[in-house]
Amino acid sequence: MYVCVCKAVTDSQLDAAIESGLCSRKQLFQCFGVGGDCGKCNRDIVRILNQKNACRLLQAANDAQLTPKSQEN
């Protein structure tokens, strides 16, 4: 599904870029140009970044065998 229609960038492309290490809206803009034209995709880009970064933090916590505060008790 297209996230940024202006630059024809899909959610799969953004997911792959984030998984390969891009971690900010600025970096995604520099890589794909997303968000720089009409700006309508910026909210979705932030949502995708937040979801992916939350998953990374949870995975890091699991890898370190730590329990996130929200899952204690």
Positions touching ligand FES (CB under 6 A) are: 4-7, 34-41
Closest listed residue to residue 48, CA positions, set 64, 69, 71, 9: 9
CB of 57 to ligand FES, least distance (A): 26
Q: Which residue has the tokens 């505060």?
A: 69
40 or 47: whose CB is closer to ligand FES?
Answer: 40
8 or 57: whose CB is closer to ligand FES?
Answer: 8
Element (DSSP H or E) covering residue 63: helix 42-63
CB of 26 to ligand FES, least distance (A): 14
Contact (Cβ atoms closer than 8 angstroms) between residue 32 and residue 17: yes
